[in-house]
Structures are given as C-alpha cells and as structure tokens.
Amino acid sequence: MKQALQTLVYMSLYGIVYVLSLTPMAFLYAVASLAFFIVYYIIGYRKPIVIQNMARSFPDKRYGEIYGIIKKFYVCFTNYFAEIIKNISAPVEVLDKKIIFENLELIDRHMSARRNVIACLGHCGNWEMLNFMPNKLNHEVYAVYKPLRSEVMNRLMIKIRSRFGLKLIPDKMVMRHILTQKSSPALYLFLADQCPSTREDKYKFEFLNQQTYIFSSMEKLAHTSGAAVIYLHITQLSKGNYRISCIPLCSEAVSTNEREITQKYVNLLEENIKGEPYGWLWTHKRWKR
C-alpha cells in the first residue's frame, strides 16, 4: 500500500513538472522572479548563512559589494530551478545551443587508453546542466550522488537527471562499481565541495580564506582505480547559457602524491567561484564543522 501511494505521488509530481516544462521559458523565468521576491525579501531563506559564508570568504569586499553579490546569487538560484524544469522537455537542438562543452577530446583521449576519468566539480552555475553531457559523449557517464531520504523525491531526481542517459550511482556503491568495471572505462562526476561527515586533518585545506575539510574519497578512488582526473569549470555566459570546460588535473592518479589532486581541485574550484561569486551554492552550511 505504501509503495503504491509513493508511486502515485511520484507520477503526479512528475506529471506536474513535465506540464510546467512545456510552458515558455519567459513564463518560467517570471515564476522564478516571483520566487526570488518571496525567498529573498519575505522568507529570507538561509540568508544569515549566506551572509556569513560570503563575508568570511571575501573579507576584503565592502558591505555593499557583499550584499550586491548575495542578491544576484538569489536571482540565479531561483532561475536555476526554472531552467531545470524546462530541460525536462526542451529539444536537444535547443540545449545544444545553450550548453557549450570545451575540450571533451581530453575525455575521449583517456577513454581510448582504456582509462576511467573522474570529473570533479563544484556547485557552480547551474551544475544540473551536466545532465546533458552523455548526449555529447560516446561513453558511459555516471554521477555519484547521495540518495535522498524521501523515496518519492529520490525517484523524481533520478528521472529528471537521467533523461539523456546519465546514470546515477550512490556514493557508497561507487568504489565497488568502478573496481568491478575495469574493462568498461567510464566518466564519473563528483560534486566534492560540500562538508564531509568525516573530518581528516590530512584533507584540510585553505579554501576561500578558511580552513576547510574536503572529501578524500574522490582522490582515494582515483588512486585505487588508476583513473585520470579532470575539473569541470562551469561559467554562466548569459542567462540560461553555460560553458563547461574540461581542465586536466592528472593523467594517472597513481603517479601523484597524496593530497596533490585535492589541492589542485581546491585551487580550480576557488578560481571558479571567484570568477562568478554569485554562482556558487552559498546556502550550504559548508563550514559547520
């Protein structure tokens, strides 16, 4: 009975967002503008967290600059949801013009050498645009994720993200998967900029002017599997248009020293954020530990 009810709720929710996705983008952006007004001015969703995170990250910026960036962040934040909904039904030809991928031949080169590729990135720009990536590659693309507690929302998320062939793999299963699929190289996407549940002093770095713990699993997996590692730099070219660039970190992780890959990732992520400070997910309690 419970399973049937969850399925009904899931199908109803997906039906609603699919119908919404068929409406013009201008309408969805108008809804996003209303959502911005409510979230920013009325509810103030996590605004104290955003202010604290940004003020500590940019101690040299003036009060007015900080608030200007924060306001733009909330505008982008609400717009992202409108874009995600639209992408549920948007034609491939439209998305192909809105999402520009650079240096994908780097991935092809590693795959031709029968080597897995770990692509690390941050919550910069509309990272959900990466759902379109399998359409640009002739290789399997997996996204490592942490399953949501809500079974309904988890199914909905998987459905939306897998439209173009992206395969989601739970974080606790990725090590076993990548080691048992050595004969089938693939691309693995890692969002590694959130706060890890386990603190390792070896993986504490200077990041945005603060001592910050970083996930060690991405680097350890790369070493264990002998994978190549790249960084995906996301830039918002204009409203709804993005460029995703593949930047090499290492050709073979086994040839690098401990912390080396993570340090390069931290440097590139920081550069990505400073280039577009309004684009990062500032609502996350990144430094709660």
Q: Is residue 289 part of a domain?
A: no
Q: Is residue 287 part of a domain?
A: no
Q: Is residue 96 part of a domain?
A: yes
* The residue to which tokens 């608030």 are assigned: 67
Q: Is residue 202 part of a domain?
A: yes
Round to whole Å and give the CA distance between 101 and 91: 17
Total number of domains in the chain: 1
Is it the case that residue 183 has pLDDT exceeding 90? no
Residue 288's Cβ-side half-sphere holds a number of Cα atoms within 13 Å equal to 12
pLDDT score recorded for residue 195: 87
- The mean pLDDT value for 102-127 works out to 95
pLDDT score recorded for residue 289: 67
Q: Is residue 24 part of a domain?
A: yes
* Best CA proximity match to 84, nearest among 31, 45, 46, 142: 31
Host domain of residue 207: 2-279
Q: Read off the pLDDT of residues 48-100 as tens digits, 9 standing for 90 and up.
A: 999 999 999 999 999 899 999 999 999 999 999 999 999 999 999 999 999 99
Length of the chain: 289
Q: Read off the pLDDT of residues 143-176 as tens digits, 9 standing for 90 and up.
A: 999 898 899 999 999 999 999 999 999 998 998 9
Q: Is residue 288 part of a domain?
A: no
pLDDT score recorded for residue 181: 83
- The mean pLDDT value for 124-131 works out to 96
User: What's the predicted TM-score (pTM) here?
Assistant: 0.95
pLDDT score recorded for residue 167: 96
pLDDT score recorded for residue 78: 98
77-81: long-range contacts, CB 8 A cutoff, minimum separation 24:
77/36, 77/39, 77/281, 77/283, 78/32, 78/33, 78/35, 78/36, 78/39, 79/29, 79/32, 79/126, 79/239, 79/240, 80/126, 80/128, 81/32, 81/35
Q: Is residue 91 part of a domain?
A: yes
